Amino acid sequence: MTTLKPREPYSREELAHLYPKSLKLQLVQVFLRHGERTPVSSRFQNTGLSPYWPYCGVARGMVQAATSKQDMSSWDGFQWRRKMEAFGNNDESIVAAGPGGEIEAMCQHGELTDKGRETTYALGTRLRHLYVDQLSFMPKIKTDAEDMYLRATPIPRALESLQQSFWGMYPASARTLDFPPPVIVARSVSEETLFPNEGNCRRFRQLARLFADRAAARWNDSEQMAYLNKIWSKYMPESSPKVAVDAHPRLSGIMDTVNATDAHGPATRLPSEFYDKKGRAIMDRIAVEEWFAGYNESTEYRKLGIGALMGDVVDRMVSTAVEGGWRSESSASGSGDAEAGKAIKFAMSGCHDTTLAAILSSVGGFQDESWPPFTSSVAIELFSQIPSTAADAGSMLEEFSNPPVVKKSGFLSSILGGKAAPKHPVPSATARAPLESFPEESRESMRKHYVRIRYNDRPVTIPGCATKAKNHLPGDPTFCTLDAFKSIVDKFTPKSWSVECTENLGEGPHGPNKREFSMAGF
């Protein structure tokens, strides 16, 4: 499947089951794959497939900020139209034309297309219907985005998809006239953890290649690959005539072009053999193993590939449960005093297929799954248990109504040494703290909070929670206690991602201990 076909909104009965009255929704973190895009490189021009696709009409008229005065004291929008050039037969410059001779709306490689903008905007409207209209978790009208955390990778299609989804969730009619520009958090690519960062983590790059080589050894001479060669090898280049995991183009590269062409118009289609149902199923299975099997087998693979991001995910939930709210200095639009800002209720991150599959695989929730379609999403929801007695109700009301303060005793004060809260915001005292360091009072609070993951609106069962009754909500194993969820993620959260990226270089796929990781270890 290339383009996600979203299910219908939850019915009243489904909603009552998925969001029981005994639980209160506290925090939502959504990770969304970008929408439909062009292939990341030109392939199969020998089949007549055009290297230039005319599906980027919106990008043709993008507006960029530009100075209007020499002293840069004010700014105007610089409006412009984009056209593209290409090499001619003699390397001369010619206008790039699409399959029908189009010279407008040409796309760059890997660029979000107009369809991708439509589907990510539609994702935003679905998020609004659920969290605003059905659950009343977020307000109908927004005056600012201070209770939201927006982040995207440095890759433009992820940022643009995030923007589309945000506007779908809060269109102009749902924002006040004085709504300020929302903050979108970014990172340097060298410190980016919102996708598995092979380019800036040497050890993870080694591991990825080792598992890719293993997939090639396992599948290149298989009956399944023979079938792919039977239907596709005639279209392979002379320099690499066979279809293989490690051919040129790689099998995953073929899948990239097949999926991108399948998502768009008839003018940019490959020969019909490329859409053979059996062939695509084989290709998907092999690509998923090549890219994601390491998360199931190697603690080091998941630690370096997605552990830093999952550590952040857990830190935010722990702050909400133990500290009374998660606040982010980086996403605040005011003075930067996160301590005085609103607690964040909704986070949205624009990312990639490899992000979503890694998140799910890291907790054992990607078994027998296909490659994530365009505009897929993972929602990680945190709930608190609604108290059943008047005494509990009073304590819970205090916990979630008052801003967090540093007391003379307790977990936070033990971390800070009993000192008064600093004037300027600092990282949460609970950030990256191992579970065993928490006092029993905090552990008990985390046992009364539940984590549930939904992948494309379908609840995900986490093996480490489902197998033990004490680790999940009675009667529903898809709700994992925050205590148990943190215990799982702690096992693969790196202490220093940048340092551990330079360790074990030259070791095998399972590191120096040579042992494979098993989901049963949770």
- Taking only the tens of pLDDT, the chain with its 522 residues reads 689 999 999 999 999 999 999 999 999 999 999 999 999 999 999 999 999 999 999 876 655 555 566 666 677 777 778 889 999 999 999 999 999 999 999 999 999 999 999 999 999 999 999 999 999 999 999 999 999 999 999 999 999 999 999 999 999 999 999 999 999 999 999 999 999 999 999 999 999 999 999 999 999 999 999 999 999 999 999 999 999 999 999 999 999 999 999 999 999 999 999 999 999 999 999 999 999 999 999 999 999 999 999 999 999 999 999 998 999 888 777 644 444 578 999 999 999 999 999 999 999 999 999 999 999 999 999 999 998 754 454 444 444 444 443 333 345 444 444 444 444 455 677 889 999 999 999 999 999 999 999 999 999 999 999 999 999 999 999 999 999 999 999 999 999 999 999 999 999 888 876 654 444 344
Provide the 3-class DSSP secondary structure of residue 326.
Answer: coil
How many Cβ atoms sit within 10 Å of the Cβ of residue 404? Answer: 18
For 376, residues 6+ apart whose C-beta sits below 8 A from its C-beta are: 4, 32, 33, 353, 356, 455, 456
Q: Does some domain include residue 84? A: no
Q: Does some domain include residue 79? A: no
What does the DSSP 8-state code read for residue 303? I
Domain that holds residue 305: 1-62+89-522
Q: Decide the pairing of beta strands 23-33 and 346-351.
A: parallel
Measure the CA–CA gap between 314 and 482, rounded to whole angstroms.
Answer: 8
Task: Enter the pTM of the model.
Answer: 0.90
Measure the CA–CA gap between 404 and 383, rounded to whole angstroms.
Answer: 18
Measure the CA–CA gap between 162 and 152, rounded to whole angstroms.
Answer: 7
Measure the CA–CA gap between 300 and 149, rounded to whole angstroms.
Answer: 29
Q: Does some domain include residue 77? A: no
How many domains does the chain fold into?
1
Q: Does some domain include residue 39? A: yes
Measure the CA–CA gap between 122 and 129, rounded to whole angstroms.
Answer: 11
Task: Report the run of H or E that residue 478 belongs to, with start and end.
Answer: strand 476-481
Measure the CA–CA gap between 392 and 259, rounded to whole angstroms.
Answer: 52
User: Looking at residue 185, what is its pLDDT?
Assistant: 97
Question: How many CA atoms, within 13 angstroms, populate the side-chain half-sphere of residue 231?
Answer: 19
How buried is residue 162: exposed, middle or buried, by Cβ count under 10 Å (0-12/13-18/19+)? buried
The CATH number covering residue 308 comes to 3.40.50.1240
Q: Does some domain include residue 72? A: no
Measure the CA–CA gap between 477 and 109, rounded to whole angstroms.
Answer: 43
Question: DSSP of 46-61, one letter per residue?
Answer: GGT--S-----HHHHT
User: Looking at residue 83, what is its pLDDT?
Assistant: 87
Measure the CA–CA gap between 354 and 378, rounded to whole angstroms.
Answer: 12
Q: Does some domain include residue 76? A: no
Measure the CA–CA gap between 382 and 220, rounded to whole angstroms.
Answer: 43
Q: Could you give the residue numbers annotated as active site?
A: 34, 353
Q: Does some domain include residue 52? A: yes
Q: Does some domain include residue 82? A: no
